Structure 1
Amino acid sequence: MTLEQAEKMVESVPLPKAKDDIILEILLRFPVKSLLRCKSVCKSWRSLISNPLFIKSHLKLSSTNIAHHRLIFTYNKEKNLRTCPLDDIVFEKSVVNSLDQVCPSDGRWKSGYAFPLKIIGSCNGLVCIVFFRSEGNILFIWNPSTKISTRLYSTFDMSPPPAGKENVVYGFAYDKATDDYKIVAVSLCDQNKVIMYSLKTRNWKQIGDFPNGYPVNMSGVFSNGFLHWMATPTPREYNEPIYLCTIVSLDLDNKTHGEVSQPMYDEDGKVGTLGALGEWLCVLCDYRVTCADLWVMKVYGVEDSWTRLASITYPADISSPYYDWPLFIGKDGTILLHSGWNLVVCNTNDGSFSNIKKFGRCTTNATIFVESLVSPYPQNSPGSTFCSL
């Protein structure tokens, strides 16, 4: 429905007292691009669409609609970004409608890293990305739908990293208790120190050391108000057998670490990666080449709620020797998986597989975000953010 059609529909309703409610219900279902245009219609619409309660209500509705979700991924050796409608990927098995994004870091800084750009994660339509530099990393909290971003700096004193390695891993999360967005950084060179950035206070604070060894995920996994990392007893061993790993959690509210119990795996020697599917924390337990088991924790914090949702076999013609992590699961059992440089859609009901067209060898970095009006600035705090300890 076009904006003009919506206005005619509202004008034709013979219930003057209900007119504002009808306009509200219509606008709440508009995509972000249309709402940004609607802000120019009149002052009352601009005020309504800018209202924090409207933004939260729109986010709540959009979060349940796959048509308002997009995949964002890096390409060109992780120097650029693209987005694509999620329903195109899941239903059409294609990214032909992907669009280049003007990255907040585009062209303004140089990096000595071969793959300088990483997507840390997304929350409520905000995407956190990091631009790695030897002289200090630059981070952005960015809304790709509104094109608004805020900038900050990672504040660890970092020595040059080993070849192909990063000095720090990050996590991005939403703290519901304080209505605040937070970035957590774990140093891999400075005794695993942990610092946390608050978007509301615009400050970094040290919150202790990372427990139980070393984090191995590229980014922390946000689920149920906690950030999570798979950790190993030795530094950065991605292929560490899963039975030697622990799942470390970080409570954003009280800034304390804990440990989440793991599923009862069939046998030792498998490799595991963390992910989140909706409200479920999940582990993809990979046997390499043969199959991978997808486990989900249906009740967070309850060990007995771990459920093996699917055992995903490898097709004979798969171009990557392993699955990395799940990105999405549909109501019909369709699972979108990141696999090496590729994306794979598998149907757990009939065991069929599809490689995503036009995506081959594009990225090792991708996540899903919901289109929203959420601002990357705290309320009443305009301008870019420059932070240091």
Structure 2
Amino acid sequence: MVKSGKTKKKYHKPTKPHHHLNPPPAQANKPISVKTLPAHLVLEILYRTPVKSLVRFKSVSKSWFALINHPTFIKMHLDFNTSKNDKNKLICSCGYGTFIDIALLSLSEEPMNVLRINKDFTERPNYPRKINFRDFSKNMVLAGSVNGIVCLSHSEEMSERFVVLWNPSICCWCPIALVETKSWDNMSVGIGFDEVINDYKVICIVPEFRFEDYGWSRIEVYSTNQGSWEDVDKKGKIHFRPNTDLNHCNFIVNGVPYWAGLDLRPGYVDVLGRIDPFTGLFKKIEHPKHVRNEITRVNPVKLRESVAALIQSPGDYPNNVIDLYLLDENTTKWTKMYSIGPLVSGNVCEEMQIPQCFSTGEIILETWTWDTDQDHVTDLDLVHNIYDPKTKLVLHINHMQALHPCWYESYSHVESLVCIKGMVQIGKEHRDKKTKPKMKNWTEFLSKEFDSVLHL
């Protein structure tokens, strides 16, 4: 007989959840797959990465070391940052007395010191038998900047012994000895870049002082590719002498250095001279025609990638106006673009210098201002202002006052990874190099993705 009623359901006890603080050994050792970015996106990020960060990234792996050191990547990184105006800065020397600072200056940031020079230091180990950067930095003079490579001259004991190429971004430098059998008195130094053969060149203009050669100068060119001074004696001498107080070029446009100086052949005529780093040939450029008087000053400058001339006080005093002229390199003709000013009012007198222009077109106006009381100076002040050609306004930039009291040489500068032949790391000039196994080809460590993007 079958029992009536409901069938009793079986009760299943639920299993307790297990919470593991640590994964099982087998799961912990299991490799984790990470989806990486495409190579072209990685490169786009690295092109935007500051140089100092890229130097640290070299220690990530052999492939990254090979990538960041590869000439193609270095050039692409340089091209990208050169095309971005916000990446371009000015490198300048400023200060007064014992300490001189080499600083990077931009419109939007505080000046960043890259080197502080103590002109009075006395501890100089092994000097002058073994030269190091610390030895040379005392009394050194900025003489140009191209693609992140800065040329340095010297104003005292090494002025006729060495010039130097320096990349402050990667802390490397290369001393270049001057030929001992030649005279280098009062030489003026610049740097040029021969884009055709990718060669950085140190260019020196050396005035002649013998009576029969007075008014002439000779040109000396050092090729970093060849590692030697080129024989330019056969190319003849030039009727040009850089300004007496100018031991460095004024500015550099498209790798060509320019000097302000005198043509002594027709008389003492102010001209602008340039030396082509590819051919070594000299070209003289006359100043634009302008109103001349006792206080007229012509300031040749680099404006973006063109040659410009800022003519101060072209009219009668006190009509202190600055006219800007632009040079057409093909026709060597000047065109007046616009005027700034007048900049004088009341009993305040201003003496203005134009140290340099930013790559975006803003012009730095360094002004010495003093109040006069019966022809006596009662108050003296140095002010740095910026003229913006877009708004046609003269603006005061507070952080530029950090360059007080004096601003010396300045050049357009872009931070780069460029390391030319012969450069060594600062502070390790005389250390014995450890022998390391040489790789036949560093590109073997690069991934196939980077190979295809860089076209290796």
TM bucket, shorter chain: 0.7 to 0.9
- Determine if contact 1:174/1:181 at 8 Å carries over to the other structure: yes
Give the C-alpha shift of residue 318 in structure 1. Answer: 8.2
CA displacement, residues 105-128 of structure 1 (integer Å, 9 cap, x when unaligned):
6542697xxxx3210010000111
**In the alignment, is the contact (CA less than 8 A) between 1:347 and 1:353 conserved in 2?**
yes
Do residues 215 (structure 1) and 242 (structure 2) align? Answer: yes
Match of 2:86 among 53, 66, 71: 66
Residue 386 (structure 2) pairs with residue 345 (structure 1): yes
Instruction: Look up the match of 1:149.
Output: 173
Q: Is the 8 A contact 1:328 1:337 kept in 2?
A: no
Residues 196 and 207, structure 1, Cα contact 8 Å, conserved in 2? yes
Matched, 1:197 2:222: yes
* Aligned residue in 2 for 1:258: 283
Rounded to whole Å, the distance in 2 between the matches of 1:225 and 1:99 is 23
Distance in 1, Cα, partners of 2:33 & 2:337: 53
Of 281, 287, 301, which residue of structure 2 is paired with 1:275?
A: 301
Between structure 1 and structure 2, the one with the greater Rg is 2
Q: Aligned partner of 1:147: which letter?
A: C
Determine whether 1:171 maps to 2:199.
Answer: no
Equivalences for residues 5-20 of structure 1 within 5 A: 19-20=38-39
Partner of 2:147: 124
- Cα offset, 1:345, TM superposition: 1.6
1:354 is matched with which residue: 396, 411, 420? 396
The residue type paired with residue 194 of structure 1 is I
2:99 and 2:116 in contact (8 A); partners too:
no
Return the alpha-carbon distance in structure 1 between the equivalents of residues 161 and 404 of structure 2.
Answer: 29
1:312 Cα deviation from its structure 2 partner = 4.8
In the other structure, the counterpart of 2:360 is 330
* Superposed displacement of residue 353, structure 1: 3.4
Q: Within the alignment, does 1:187 sit opposite 2:206 as a pair?
A: yes
CA distance in 1 between partners of 2:33 and 2:334 (Å): 52
* 1:37-94 CA distance string (max 9 Å, x none): 11111111111111101111111111124245353324344863332341xxx246x5
Contact 2:221 2:232 in 1 (8 A): yes
Aligned-partner SS, 2:401: coil
Which residue, out of 50, 73, 80, partners 2:69? 50
Amino acid at match of 1:347: D
The 8 Å contact of residues 275 and 282 in structure 2, kept in 1 or not, is answered as: yes
In structure 2, the CA distance between the partners of 1:365 and 1:251, relative to structure 1 (3 Å rule), is closer
Q: Unaligned stretches of 5+ in structure 1?
A: 1-10, 162-166, 385-389
Change over 3 Å in CA distance of 1:107–1:99 after alignment to 2: closer
Q: What are the equivalent positions in structure 2 for 1:21-40 lying under 5 Å apart?
A: 21-40=40-59
Equivalent position to 2:273, from 248, 262, 265: 248
Give the partner amino acid of 1:72.
C
1:374 to partner: Cα distance: 0.6
Distance (whole Å) between structure 1 residues aligned to residue 92 and residue 411 of structure 2: 6
SS in 1 for 2:46: helix
User: How does the TM-score come out when normalised to structure 2?
Assistant: 0.65
2:413 alignment partner, one of 369, 372, 385? 369
1:294 pairs with one of 318, 324, 335: 324
Query: What's the offset of the Cα at 1:138?
Result: 2.4
CA shift in 2, pair 1:379/1:158, >3 Å: closer
Give the direction of change, closer, same or farther, for the CA distance of 1:260–1:48 in structure 2 (3 Å limit).
Answer: same
Deviates more, 1:279-288 or 1:175-184: 279-288
Q: CA deviation at 1:272?
A: 1.6
Q: 1:205 to 1:212 in 2, by over 3 A?
A: same
Q: For residues 189-226 of structure 1, what are the alpha-carbon distances to aligned partners after superposition, in whole Å with 9 as ceiling and x for unaligned?
A: 55522211111111113524552332225422322453
CA shift, 1:173, in A, is 1.0
Shift of residue 304, structure 1, vs aligned partner: 4.3
Q: Determine the C-alpha separation between the residues in 1 that align with 2:161 and 2:113.
A: 28
Residue 258 of structure 2 corresponds to residue 228 of structure 1: yes
Cα 1:196–1:85 change in 2 (3 A) is same
Query: Taking structure 1 as reference, are residues 125 and 339 closer, same or farther at Cα in structure 2, changes over 3 Å only?
Result: farther
2:407 aligns to what SS in structure 1? coil
User: C-alpha distance in 2, partners of 1:358/1:274?
Assistant: 25
Q: Secondary structure at the match of 2:402?
A: coil
Distance 2:193 2:33 in 1: 41
The residue aligned with 1:303 is 332
Does the aligned pair in 1 maintain the 2:352–2:366 contact within 8 Å? no
Letter of the 2:54 counterpart: L
Find the aligned partners of 1:310 and 1:20 in 2 and give their Cα distance: 50
2:330 is paired with a residue whose SS is coil
**Amino acid paired to 1:308:** M
Q: CA RMSD in A?
A: 3.8
For the residues of structure 2 that align with 1:12 and 1:343, how far apart are their CA atoms?
A: 56
Cα distance in structure 2, aligned partners of 1:25 and 1:137: 43
> Secondary structure of 1:375's partner?
coil
Q: CA deviation at 1:282?
A: 1.5
Give the drift of 1:27.
0.7
- Work out the CA distance in 2 between the residues paired with 1:309 and 1:207: 41
**2:56 is paired with a residue of what secondary structure?**
helix
- Closer, same or farther in 2 for the Cα pair 1:12/1:276, shift >3 Å? farther
